Amino acid sequence: MIRARDLVKYYNDFPALDGISFDLEDGAILGIIGHNGAGKTTLLKILAGLIRPTSGTLTVDGIDVVRRPIDLKRQLGYLPEESRLYETMTVDAYLSFFGEIYGMDAAAIRRRRDELLDSLALDAEGKKLGELSKGMKRKVAIARSLIHDPALLIYDEPTSGLDPMTSRFVIDYIRDLRSQGKTVLFSGHNLYQVEEVCDAVMILRRGKTVASGSMHDLREMFGSITYQIHFIVPDGAPFTTEVAHTEHDGLYLATARTVEELNRITATLTAEGAAIERIESQYPTLEEMLVKIGK
């Protein structure tokens, strides 16, 4: 369980984070989104114990991360926004090196490394890190974050710069990590992916949380569902209605904002001789929410 209270981070006199609080249960995925410079990386680095907040408290499973960041290391896997890999090392040597840092024995390292390379579909036999594609490098960095089988993963823009296929693979992989019981916090600019995979989303703006919760909570917060009522009217029949609507090539469309309004409109239209063709629910997307919030 992560418990953050009133985290503040100043870079000189600039408040990059300005009072962030949240709780996150084990085994959940939290997506952190916001415009460039909103404070996502700063928050993730604090959560990973890499930088200290100017003030505020943070505990992960009872460990005080601000006071004892080293104690968190064993159960934490961190993927930086840009991971610098040791270009001349092979993948095997690189992952072994990090396994050793975590005190794993050679057999355990080999087992875990093979398991990870297999699950990440990474075939880099004998290749040096400097010879790998961007997608392969990202997968190596993900394998590195998982070598010691940590319970908490903090991923800064895990799919940034990846092609759609690799990006999808990484998102599915993150989903699998949750099904293994791991807790994942990640930042991203691909809002569709965040929306798809996260149990909870936090929207940052200028170092503050402007909204957070499940996608359901956020949709409610940002103006809930609208219902689009598509209907047709019998050929040649004169059709007049009080219901506000648009018409294009014989296809009519009316919009309702509540279930009550939806029921009222469909009843009225039907009584007036229209046939309801279909009703579509429309939710505000994360992208629309970010646009609404502004920079």
Ligand X SMILES: Nc1ncnc2c1ncn2[C@@H]1O[C@H](COP(=O)(O)OP(=O)(O)OP(=O)(O)O)[C@@H](O)[C@H]1O
Residues 187, 157 contacting (CB under 8 angstroms): yes
Residues 241, 288 contacting (CB under 8 angstroms): no
Q: What is the dihedral of CA 258, 263, 264, 266, to 10 degrees?
A: 120
What minimum distance in Å lies between the beta carbon of 109 and ligand X?
Answer: 32
Residue number, 52 or 110, with CB nearest to ligand X:
52
What minimum distance in Å lies between the beta carbon of 246 and ligand X?
Answer: 38
Closest to 150 measured CA to CA, from 221, 37, 61, 226: 61
Residue number, 96 or 190, with CB nearest to ligand X:
190
Residue number, 20 or 256, with CB nearest to ligand X:
20
What minimum distance in Å lies between the beta carbon of 168 and ligand X?
Answer: 21
Residue 32's beta-bridge partner residues? 187, 202
CA distance 97 to 91: 10
Q: What is the DSSP letter of 89?
A: S
What minimum distance in Å lies between the beta carbon of 279 and ligand X?
Answer: 38
What minimum distance in Å lies between the beta carbon of 192 and ligand X?
Answer: 17
Residue number, 16 or 142, with CB nearest to ligand X:
16
Those residues whose C-beta lies under 8 Å from the C-beta of residue 127, and which sit 6 or more positions away, are 90, 91
Burial class (CB in 10 A: 0-12, 13-18, 19+), 255: middle
Residue number, 86 or 192, with CB nearest to ligand X:
192
Residues 230, 251 contacting (CB under 8 angstroms): yes
Q: What does the binding site for ligand X look like in residue numbers (CB under 6 A)?
A: 11, 14, 16, 34, 36-42
Residue number, 27 or 80, with CB nearest to ligand X:
80
What minimum distance in Å lies between the beta carbon of 216 and ligand X?
Answer: 25
CA distance 147 to 81: 18
Tokens of 260: 């009550």
